[in-house]
Amino acid sequence: MIRTANIAGAGIGGLTAAIALARQGGEVRIFEQASELAEVGAGLQLSPNAMRVMAALGLEDALQAVAFAPERARVIDGKTGRDLINLPLRAVSRPLYGAPYLHVHRADVQGILYREAQRLGVTFNLGEAVTGYTKTGLMVSGEEQSADLNIGADGIRSAIAAQMHLNLPVRFTGQVAWRGSVATADLPKGLIGPDASVWVGQGKHLVTYYLRGGDLVNFVAVEERDNWHNPSWTEPGDPAQIQAAFSDWHPTVQTLLNGAEETFLWALFDRPVLPFWSQGSIGLLGDACHPTLPFMAQGAAMAIEDAFVLARCVATEQNAATALTRYTTLRRPRTSRLQARARSNAELFHQTGFANGLLPRLKLAIAGQLPDRLGLRPFDAIYGYNATTVLP
């Protein structure tokens, strides 16, 4: 029987896994290197596939209360402001996919998950860095912490994944992401539409959407860069630099970015598909095993799905090793496909390739002429996936 579980990392995936496991009656401990659960201000897109899990965990209402539901999904030419693709989202998400599509502040999601985990009796060990693992547990601050099940949900720089896959380190993609938000009240009324918008252009793109019921406009701007040398992979950004990078884009973009008082800069790293996700009682989850670039808005959703499927496997298997093997078998094909699709979207959004991105531009032009239902069909396999029914 699997009665005890250790989890490295108190991010979205680790917290969701803790809740799902604790609901089954397990004793769960989380080890988090940060001394407090404080997230850099940034948004998350919780698509219907993620929200199905949140609903199954009893958290949909709490998330709805702090979220914003976008009306439409748009792809916009970054310089002209012309719609290339414009599809319904709010009105069709539940009828088509069984759950809403929400934009939520990362700190709000983390807070909701943290409180629910506490309510269920999950033990939090903050300021405790996980540095590796043994056959029976995690190495935490130089000491072994044993458990029946041990999960590395410690992100793309996972110490668990690094030990498990010594010859497959993460690699810099040549892209960086600027993240920030601006109070809606500080912007001209109606400047940003109530949508999930991707502004595309040569060598860079920008994502905009509302948070906290519309009080904040979140932005994520990705540009190609080959000169990242900071080993921390994330650092405060200078708003003047992002403003300069998009200075020749549409006035809407410039007005939004000129309103940013602070930004954070992430280097985007990737890893090839891992040949295995577990060794004995030690397993990986989320970005630790399948980092997904932010070109599909599915990174958090994949970790959330992982957590629920993992807990179901634990409930149906007699030991951790077989549970983790089954979990990997169920999850790796889907996450690998989405990793590849996210990578390919970089070319689409940044309009790279032959003749200044002729093929990506043609793809967007064709997609923009499709009826709404046909335009949404490529997302059916993503948003229609139901992790809560993968296992009985």
Enumerate the active-site residues.
209
* 84: helix, strand or coil: strand
DSSP 302: H
User: Which 3 state secondary structure label does DSSP give 14?
Assistant: helix
The answer to whether residues 77 and 197 touch, using CB atoms and an 8 Å cutoff, is no
* Distance from the Cα of residue 205 to its chain's centroid: 17
How is the beta sheet containing 130-133 ordered, strand by strand? 130-133, 137-140, 143-146
- Closest to 242 measured CA to CA, from 221, 228, 259, 261: 221
Q: Rounded to whole angstroms, how far apart are CA atoms 58 and 327?
A: 23
Burial class (CB in 10 A: 0-12, 13-18, 19+), 73: buried
d(CA 6, CA 276): 20
DSSP output for 153-208? ---TT-HHHHHH-TT---EEEEEEEEEEEEEGGGS-TTSS-SSEEEEEETTEEEEE
Q: CA–CA separation, 207 vs 78, rounded Å?
A: 10
The H-or-E segment that residue 103 falls in is strand 102-105
- Provide the token pair at 278: 């577990």
Indicate the helix (H) or strand (E) that contains 137. Answer: strand 137-140
- Count CA within 13 A, CB hemisphere, residue 297: 25
Vertex 269 angle, CA 267 and 270, to 5°: 165
Among candidate residues 389, 288, 382, the one with its CA nearest the CA of residue 340: 382
74: amino acid identity, one letter: R
